[in-house]
Amino acid sequence: MNQIDELINISIEAGKAILGYYDEEIKVTRKEDDSPLTKADLASHNVIVNSLKELTPDTPIISEESGIPAYEERTKWRSYWLVDPLDGTKEFIKKNGEFTVNIALMEEGEPVIGVVHIPAKKITYIGQKSIGSHKIDQEGNKTRILSSRPDKDQPVTIVSSRSHGASDTEDRLEEMGFKVGESVAAGSSLKFCLVAEGVADIYPRFGPTMEWDTAAGDAVFRYSGKDEARYSPITYNKESMKNGEFVIGHE
């Protein structure tokens, strides 16, 4: 079994661990930054971290639930895993199905493999440098997904956060030369995937995110170009690991 298949299986097992808590009353605690934390986050974290340690014992792992290693240590890493065990905890709490398991392999500051698994829908997106991006449906059928740069002369479809919408998004995009025709709401890193498969043209994010929120979905987007990788403005292994504002898909 190759590495990408191993990662898909790990994400599926993590998804099963999450769904083990989905039908019961979800108890929520708060982390230091006031973001929500559930038993499902920790269960998924344990599945992924233990599995990755077995798969690649010498490769460091950063998970949202494991804390951030010192910058001085991280800058020496050539490669590492970047994981969000349950992206879209707010969507999980709302039980709307739009939460994901995110696993990315980082090399030299960019995501070279990304797996985004949607446990409630049994759908998985994968992006891999040099191979491209694919979608695996509920029956296990694997299909190449492609995206292209939007035409500024035509109204664009944007994907917006279901839980973190910005009121001035359309105005700011118009300043960039885009007229918004339609807006599709989605949770978690699904937003990257919807751009990668051409359901939406642009994903603007004018609020803060962390690197583990974006890495796997960013890989799915980057490698959805037909002939070459798509441009992404997001950089990784920053000192704070906090992302600034970004717009995905406009270039």
37-71 pLDDT, tens per residue? 678 899 999 999 999 999 999 999 999 998 899 99
Cβ distance 159 to 173 under 8 Å? Answer: no
Q: Are residues 161 and 60 located together in one domain of the fold?
A: no
Q: CA-CA distance, 76 to 70, in Å (whole number)?
A: 11
Q: Are residues 185 and 231 located together in one domain of the fold?
A: yes
Q: Are residues 212 and 120 located together in one domain of the fold?
A: no
Q: Are residues 42 and 102 located together in one domain of the fold?
A: yes
CATH of the domain at 209: 3.40.190.80
Domain membership flag for residue 151 = no
Q: Return the closest-CA partner of residue 118 out of 192, 221, 200, 46.
A: 192
Domain count of the fold of the chain: 2
Q: What pLDDT is attached to residue 212? A: 97
Q: CA-CA distance, 147 to 226, in Å (whole number)?
A: 7
DSSP, res 202:
B
Q: Are residues 30 and 78 located together in one domain of the fold?
A: yes
Q: Are residues 50 and 172 located together in one domain of the fold?
A: no
Domain hosting 28: range is: 3-145
Q: What pLDDT is attached to residue 163? A: 60
**Which residues, given as ranges, of the chain have pLDDT below 70?**
25-28, 30-37, 162-167
Q: What pLDDT is attached to residue 92? A: 85
Residue 126: phi, psi to the nearest 5?
A: -135, 145
Q: CA-CA distance, 191 to 21, in Å (whole number)?
A: 24
